Structure formats: structure tokens, C-alpha cells
Structure 1
Amino acid sequence: MHSDTLVSIIIPCYNDAQYILQSVNSALNQTYPNKEVIVVDDGSNAETKAVLKKLAPKITKLITQENQGQSTARNVGIKEAKGEYILVLDSDDYFEPTFCEKAVAIFESRKEVKIISSFVNRVIDDKIAHVFKPYGGNIKPFLSNNQATGSCMILKSDFLNVNGYDEKMRKGFEDWEFYIRLLKDGGEAFVIQEPLFNYRLRNDSTTSKANKIKYDLLKYIYMKHQDLYKANYELFISHLLNRIEREETEKIKNTHRLEFKIGKTILKPFRWVKSVVK
């Protein structure tokens, strides 16, 4: 593969009329020259469809389907892609212009790499709230947590080798499960040490919804890949115990905060009386 190899940027879209323009423009404005942009309309509402219709002349391909979920939308778009490199981008997020250029250079120089992401600007109301720094690495850290971002660059050949995203996973964590399958037989995820990806923090995002049912999603992943977790039993148990300890510590902190607030409220009138009496 050479620096003129085609990059296919896949953008699944579901009811993101407010943000899809910025997402598509961030794909079109990549400094890497040889690219195509494919948008998959996953059963969006009329408002979003109107925006996509205006965007259609600017992009390579617009695919329209009934709502089937993000995993299916990604799979459909990637299977239509002609590029050897695939960049997956959610329709409410956006990349900085140099991401593709830098990611392709890494793929060409490091053959062990299967996933490329970067540091992340977490955005609230169009303002950067803070920078998140995923770790990347091989399969072992990925058994505990997702160490990359949902929007990343991969090779289409690797995507095909593992049969794409799990289409049963419609409620979140599908990117993490996909990365486990990509890395289980070797390779690593590389993280560019710059905030080249912008992720919107939203109350109605897929990630927010997934966190509300995270234990069901974790169970699905653990059971699906139980051979991997059995092979890394000590690491997995240590992770689970650390998770339980952290959550219990946080509960204690929250309880103390609540008790302090209640106590302060109850004692406030007594303190006032005491000050008057003095």
C-alpha cells in the first residue's frame, strides 16, 4: 500500500440534522487527498433527510435504508467502500483535517497496527470540555475496557476477516466488541498523541444510553468471548475486583456528601438561633 491508497470515510447517520453537515465537512476537508465519503442514512427523520439531500452532491455515495442500528449501518457502508483504509465516523462527531494523513502514514510504517485513533476533544455545547486520552495497546487491555474511540481507522481486509460489527449489538459497546475480535489473534491499537477527534457529549447519545444498561452489555461481551477471558483469568478477575472496589469507594463518597448536605441543612436553623441568643 502507498500514500495514494484510497481512504473510505463511512458516516452512519440517524436523526442528526443538527450535526451531520459538520461531520461530513470534516471528512471532505481531510488533507489526505485520495478519499471517498459514504453516508448511510439509517432511517432518519424528514428533517435529517432534507439535510442529507443537500449534501448528496458533495459526497461519493448516499445509502438509504430502514432503521437497523449503527452496527448494520457501518457494515453496509464499509462493504460498499472501495478503499483499503476505512475511517468510521459518527454523524455527530468530527475529525481535525490532518487525521487521515497522519493515520495512513502510521499504517504504512507499522505493520502490526490494526486500529488507529487519537486523543479526543470532548465537546459540550460546541466548546471543548476536556481532552480524553485512550491508551491503545494489544488485546489484553481491551479485555478490561475499550482503549480506543468508536470513530477510528482500520483496514478493510481486517474488517472482512472478522465479519464486521456485531449486528445484534444495537444498544452500544459494539465498537469495543469489534476491536476485541480485531486484536484477539495479534496486532495493536495505535493512539496518535494529539486531539484530532472531536466527540460530542450528549445526554441522548448512544454511549449515554449504553451506560444505563452497561451490565447487560458487559455480560454479552464476556459470554461471547469467554474463551479469551478464561485464557486471561487472573487479569480479568483483577479487573473485576478493581471495578467493584472503585464503585464501592465512589458510593461511600457520595453517601458522605449527601449526609453532609442533609446535616448542614438540618443544623442551619439551630446555628441561627444560637447566634441570635449570643
Structure 2
Amino acid sequence: MTATHNRPHILWHNALASLLQQSSLDFEWVIINDGKDEATRHLIQSTPLPFSHQYLEIDHPVEDFGLCIARNLGMKAASGSYICYLDDDNSFRPTFVATVLAWIEQSPHSRFILPQQWRRRDVIKEGKVIKQGQPFMSPSADTTLDDLVSQKALFDSNGFVHRRIGSPCWNPRYRVFCDYEFFLQCLGQSNHDQREDFLLKPEVLINYIQTTDGIIGQSGYGDWARELQQLYADRLAYTMLGKEWADWMPQAIEKYQQKSQVPIPAFKR
């Protein structure tokens, strides 16, 4: 599933290009045009797609986070047994679909699968890269679910695979922490004691270049503090994770609040 907002050029050169290069075409692509951009509509309608696909449009919401609203719509429209996510500015390795299908066949009882990403963080100014970051793999091969819950390791939804039926909904109240909040909901549905439902696969299948002009890059420490405070206030909704799962949050909230008072680039998360 790909939700995009007024970025047909980026969509074409990243997400769509990588889907056209898949070694297996046994998938359905659900594309949601957030804002009903005509150029994006023309791109999808004029491109021969060798795989099943659905094209949807929504008005760009004035309030709440459009990405979450678009993803919820895409989940309802999708016909497959599993869902995975690909932002318009990211790409899958050519073996992504084939590898994921093999994992599902090998572990048919698993509800969630998280492969690794090749990541880089670039600084953008006036549409140009002025500083290119050092590549790294995320999450690392030794990452645990507890690391993701405490944010010692980063959960990102690009390439994340989960069953469609019975899936939680994306919460449009969150922007910076929308992926993390969705991860908490998913983890609450899994067998948290035996960890059989949630597979962390140490294989790099996604290319992710994070930039300062994205959601995280344009946000500040004050935004992080506010959303994390909201999550902490709602922590009882995730009690299935255990009583102490959110104990790290007050200190992190205080740190973000302090940093929001100094001119440190919010991009450095």
C-alpha cells in the first residue's frame, strides 16, 4: 500500500519504480492519492502496471494526519490476506515480494513480519541534498521487541507486513509517532509472552532515505514531547504490553521539552 500527497515525480522514481522491478508480481498495489492531485492521477492511469492494483482518492484533511486516514482507507479496500506499506519516497529491493511470500509460507501463523531497512539521513535545502548521511541498517540484527517498545531501536512501517483481517486502525491523532503507535497496537494483538506472532527478520529488503523535508524533519522536539505526552496519557490503553512498558516516557518527554528550547535540528532523532 502506498499513500502519496502531491509528489508524482518522487512516486515514479522511487516506490513505483521499485514495484515494477519485483521478481514476483503476485501482489496487489493499493495507491491512495491524498489530495486528488491530477498529476498523480495521470501517472497511475497512464502507466501500464503488470500487477493487480487499486487507485483511490481522498480529499486532503484539514485536521488530523492524512497519511493515517489514507492507510485506513487502503486497508478497507485491499483484497489480500496481508498488508505491507511503502511510502512514495522509499523503495523495495527487487526480491521483497518473493521473500515475504516465502516467509509467510514458512511461518503461516505469524501475524506480523518486520524486515530490515537500508537507511540514510540527508539534509535538504531548497530541494537539493546539502549533506548526505552515513548509511545504516535498521533495526539491527540483534534488535528485540522490547528494544522497539522502549525506542532503543526504531520501528518504521516501510516494509512492515501484517495480516489484514482484524488489523488495528491507524490513529490520525499522531504524526511523528504514528508508526510507533500503530506498532504498539499490533504488539498488543500478538502473543507477547511467546513472541511467535511477531517475526523480526534480519534481511535488508527496503531502501529508506530520510530527509529534513519529511514529517520527522519538519517537526521539532516540542512536537515530539507533545505526542509522546499524549501516548503516555493513553498508556493504559496498551496495558496488554505490561505495567512497566511506558516507564521510559517521562524522562524522554522532559528531554524533548528541554531540547525544544535550544536550536538543535529536529532531524537528529
Shorter chain as normaliser: what TM range? 0.7 to 0.9
- The 3-state SS of whatever aligns with 1:161 is coil
Which residue among 178, 182, 187 is the counterpart of 2:186? 182
- The 3-state SS of whatever aligns with 1:184 is helix
Which residue among 4, 9, 34 is the counterpart of 1:18? 9
Tell me how far apart the structure 2 counterparts of residues 221 and 85 of structure 1 sit (CA, whole Å): 27
1:40 Cα offset (Å)? 0.5
Which residue among 57, 66, 76 is the counterpart of 2:73? 76
Tell me how far apart the structure 2 counterparts of residues 40 and 166 of structure 1 sit (CA, whole Å): 17
**Equivalences for 1:218-257 in 2 at 5 Å?**
218-226=228-236, 228=238, 232-234=242-244, 236-238=246-248, 240-241=250-251
Which residue among 131, 156, 166 is the counterpart of 2:163? 156
Tell me how far apart the structure 2 counterparts of residues 195 and 121 of structure 1 sit (CA, whole Å): 10
Tell me how far apart the structure 1 counterparts of residues 57 and 240 of structure 2 sit (CA, whole Å): 41
Distance 1:242 1:204, change over 3 A: closer
Which residue among 22, 30, 35 is the counterpart of 1:43? 35
Alignment TM-score, normalising by the size of structure 1: 0.71
2:202 aligned residue: 193
Paired residue type of 1:221? L
Indicate yes or no: 2:44 matched with 1:34. no
1:211 Cα offset (Å)? 4.8
1:208 aligned residue: 217
23-32 vs 187-196, which moves further? 187-196
1:218 Cα offset (Å)? 0.9
1:263 aligned residue: none
Q: Is contact 2:68-2:171 (8 Å) kept?
A: yes
> 1:172-209 CA deviation, whole Å, 9 max, x = no partner?
32121111111114345434323321112222212223
What stretches of structure 1 of length at least 5 have no aligned partner?
A: 1-9, 255-278
- The 3-state SS of whatever aligns with 2:119 is strand
1:118 aligned residue: 116
> 1:8-59 CA deviation, whole Å, 9 max, x = no partner?
xx11010212210131121232223311212110005444444344337666
Indicate yes or no: 2:63 matched with 1:63. no
1:214 Cα offset (Å)? 0.7
98-107 vs 66-75, which moves further? 98-107
Alignment TM-score, normalising by the size of structure 2: 0.73
Distance 1:50 1:242, change over 3 A: closer
Q: Is contact 1:119-1:193 (8 Å) kept?
A: no
Aligned-residue sequence identity (percent) comes to 19
Determine which structure has the larger helix proportion and give its number. 1
1:270 aligned residue: none
Q: Is contact 1:89-1:152 (8 Å) kept?
A: yes
Paired residue type of 2:46? K
Indicate yes or no: 2:172 matched with 1:167. yes
Indicate yes or no: 2:95 matched with 1:98. yes
Q: Is contact 2:35-2:58 (8 Å) kept?
A: yes
- The 3-state SS of whatever aligns with 1:142 is helix
Paired residue type of 2:9? Q
Q: Is contact 2:168-2:182 (8 Å) kept?
A: no
1:147 Cα offset (Å)? 3.9
97-106 vs 112-121, which moves further? 112-121
| CA RMSD, Structure 1 to Structure 2 (Å) | 3.4
Tell me how far apart the structure 1 counterparts of residues 157 and 112 of structure 2 sit (CA, whole Å): 14
Q: Is contact 1:121-1:195 (8 Å) kept?
A: no
Tell me how far apart the structure 2 counterparts of residues 44 and 128 of structure 1 sit (CA, whole Å): 33
Tell me how far apart the structure 2 counterparts of residues 245 and 206 of structure 1 sit (CA, whole Å): 20
